[in-house]
Structures are given as structure tokens and as C-alpha cells.
A and B are shown apart, each in its own frame.
Chain A
Amino acid sequence: MTWAQIIQIVSVAGVVAMIAAAWWAKIPRPTPELDPARARDLLAVEFPDNPINDLWIASDGAGAVARSGTEALVVYRAGDGYVARSLSWADALIAPVQSGHVRFRFGDFAAPRASLAVSGINPWPPQGHQAGLAA
């Protein structure tokens, strides 16, 4: 067996062991469901210069959308962290809802889309914005 082969075997075995240990340990950061206060805190970090006009929270608490003027600010959970992107409020209002999720597209290869859970209690588009949608 060559030196290079030994390195490869040790590396692969090590990678498997480390991933298994991370899975076993279950020590991610806590990500409690977003409520309005938590969502606002998160938005204040991600979009510190944007005032929040309206706030909508995904039904599973894993994301939120805020209207800030003509912009839609979107935050959503990925693993135990959050991702933030924005799109125009007009585009956000016409985002398709499929299989209980509203799907936003950002035109950014680094974070192309977000899928946020919708329920009867918190439909998308948010109630009260139907007029804006029609206009």
C-alpha cells in the first residue's frame, strides 16, 4: 500500500467518523420558531437600515417576510442558521404557492430560492394586501 493510499483511507475514515460524531452529539444552535419579536430581531440584524412596515411569519416558524416600502425582506432557516435576501414587494405578492409553501426566487446563485410554509391562518399573499396585488 502506498503512502498516498494510506492518507486517503485515513482521511475518508476520519470524515465519516467526524460526521457521525456531529450527528450523534446533536449540538446545533437552538433555532426556536420565529415569533414576531424574534423575526424583528433577525430582520434588524440582516436589514438594519430598513424600516418594517408589515410582517408575515411562515406557519412552521422557519422564516418570515417583511414589507419595507417597495421591498420584500425574506429571512429563512438553513440548517441552524438563517439566510436573508430581498425581492420587490410586487414580485413577492405574486410568488407561487405550491404544496403548502410559497416559493420566492431571488435571481442569486448563492441563494436562488426560498420556500416558506403557508397555512390557512397565515395565507400568502398576506390578507390585507389583496388590494395591492390587484393594483
Chain B
Amino acid sequence: MKLDPVTLAIPFFIISILLEILLSRLGVTKANYEVRDTATSLMMGFFSSIIGAIPAAAIFGVSVWVYKYRLLDIPMVGLLGVGAWAALFLLEDLTYYWFHRLSHERRFWWAAHVNHHTSQHYNLSTALRQTWTGGVSGTWLLWLPLSFIGFPPAMVAIQKGISLVYQYWIHTEVIRRLPGPIEAVFNTPSHHRVHHARNPRYLDANYAGILIIWDRLFGTFIPEDDAEPCRYGTVKNLGDFNLLRVAFHEWIGIGQDLARSRSPREVLGYLFGPPGWSPDGSRDTSHTLKAKWQARQAAQAQASAESAPMAAE
């Protein structure tokens, strides 16, 4: 599709990454690149575009089929078209928020999304570390209601592409903070750094695509605290840069857990529980990691409160 925003943006991706590397090499900006990490991100992105193209036609076909039964006739052009684009902008971004939240909070979909979070770096190349298994995870179904409402499937596809391109440039440490009103409304490098952080306090936050307002609305917004710099990657980082490990490690983990399951409850828990769910609670989830962090904070606060009067004496 010639209009596909992601394809059109490829030269921009290449030039901006080369610039981020060059300017950091010259000391103008501060970004870190590790060769194998960069190669892994770029190869994940390149093969994702090839693998993703296989089910893309079928997925688009399904949305065209759903569109046949649409509730409304929504124009793409003209005065009404402008309103339609504005409405789609909001609805697609809301859909993205829930897709992304599901992709973090339920293991089956996390298995397809985790690869994007496996880099211990946060630079523009990290943005291109894209999934190979998004098609099989079925999350594309979440966008079908938009076609059912009456947005033409091509229009939805273009808006999805615009969202993906928007999310590219926020993968950088070079931009620290943008003006307040922008940080209040839009997903920014600062907000998305928090999303990629593995610090317990930052887990499961900032699922936004373009607008951060959804996180503020649904209670998943966490601001970046300069006192606690983001450490990037997953809670349990990968042991090497093997592409197959990046793409499939969580799927294999699910398979191993299912093989040792002893009840339907365990099967459901391992598949659709939060990542890290285990029958006896012996593994950590985002929730338990946050609880432990909070307990440490509370213990620290109590210890310093107890030592304060002594210090005053």
C-alpha cells in the first residue's frame, strides 16, 4: 500500500537513527548504542515487516468483511471527512491504549509484545524492535469495531500507521521534557521512557499511543521522576542477543508452563494471568514487585523517622 505511513517513514527512520548516533558520537547529544543491541532491534524490525505482511492481507480482508455490515456511512473526504478523521484519531488511540494495556497485563498477549521491551537501551533503534507474532496473538481483532461503526478499513489502516510513526520518535533519551501542555496531553519521550523502565515503581504504566490522556483517565499514568532514572529492559533481562530468543522466549515459557500444568485453573492462569503468575505465587508479577518496592520504601521511611529524633539530640 503506497499510502502506508510506516513505509513512507522508512527514510526518516534511517536518517534520524544515523543522526542520533552521529550527534552522540560528536558529543552534541547523549545517547548510547551497543552494536549487538542495535543490530537486534533493527533485524527484529526488518523481519517483523516481512512476517507481518503475510497475515496483513487476510486481516485487512476481515475488516473489509466487517465493514460490509457497518452501522454508519462515514466519509473519508470533505467537511464531514475532517470530523471523521478527528473522531477516528481519538477512537483509534483509545483502541491502542487498551490493546497495549492488554499486551502488558495478560501473559498471552505479553508474549507477542515483550520483544519490544527486551532492549536494555532506549534509543531510536529500540522503536523498531517490533513483534513477529502480533498476527497470531489476535489483537488486530480489537480494531474491527471501528470498521463496524463505519470507518473505511483503509482509513483505519492509515490511522494505525500514523500512530506507529508517531510512537517512533519518542524512543529517545535525547529529549528530556517538552513544554508542559504537550506533556499533559501527548505521549512524549519522558512518558514512554517510564513505559520501558523495569524499575518496580514504573511497571505497568503509560500505555498511551499518541495521547497520554487515556493513562491519566484510566489511572495508569506515572510521571518520570528525575530522582529515579529509568533502567530499561524487562524484569528478567534476556541472556543474549539471539533473535529467536527475543521473538519467542515468552511463548516457549508459556509452553513449558502449560506442559507442567495440573488443572484447568493452572492452564488459564499461565495463559491469561498477569505475566509472572504462578499457582503458588512463588514468581513475581508487576503487582508483587510494586508491593515489595512499597514495603521497602515504607521500611526506609520508618527507619529514617526513628533515627531523626536521635540525630536531633
Contact = CB atoms under 8 A, between A and B. Distances in A.
Contacts of B36: 79
B84 interface: no
Contacts, number: 117
A12 B42 CA distance: 10
Interface stretch (B17-25, B154-162, B182-190, B261-269): B17-25
A22 B34 contact: yes
Contact of B292 (A11, A48, A81): A48
B133 to A, nearest CB: 15
Contacts of B245: 109-110
B10 A15 contact: no
B35 A23 contact: yes
B241 A14 contact: no
A81 B32 contact: no
B104 to A, nearest CB: 17
A78 B239 contact: yes
Contacts of B10: 7, 10-11, 14
Contacts of B237: 78, 81-84, 111
Interface in B31-55: 31-39, 42-43, 46, 49
B70 interface: no
Nearest to A13: B14
Interface residues of B, number: 45
B231 interface: yes
B236 A110 contact: yes
A27 interface: yes
A15 B239 contact: no
B83 interface: no
A28 B238 contact: no
Nearest to A24: B25
Contacts of A19: 35, 38-39, 42
Contacts of A49: 292, 296
Contacts of B18: 17-18, 21
Given A19-B35, A109-B256, A25 B238 contact: no
Contacts of A14: 10-11, 13-14
B7 A7 contact: yes
B225 interface: no
Contacts of A29: 32, 34
Given A7-B7, A10-B10, A11-B46, A79 B253 contact: no
A87 to B, nearest CB: 13
B33 A25 contact: yes
A113 interface: yes
Contacts of A80: 32, 34, 37, 120
21 contacts: A3-B2, A21-B18, A22-B35, A23-B35, A25-B33, A27-B25, A48-B292, A48-B296, A79-B241, A80-B120, A81-B120, A81-B233, A83-B237, A85-B239, A108-B236, A109-B245, A109-B249, A110-B238, A110-B245, A111-B237, A112-B239
**7 shortest A-B CB distances, which residue pairs?**
A111-B239, A81-B120, A14-B14, A25-B25, A22-B38, A28-B34, A22-B33
Given A28-B32, A110-B245, 18 more contacts: A3-B2, A7-B10, A19-B39, A19-B42, A21-B21, A22-B21, A22-B34, A23-B35, A28-B35, A29-B34, A80-B120, A81-B233, A84-B236, A108-B236, A109-B245, A110-B249, A112-B239, A114-B239
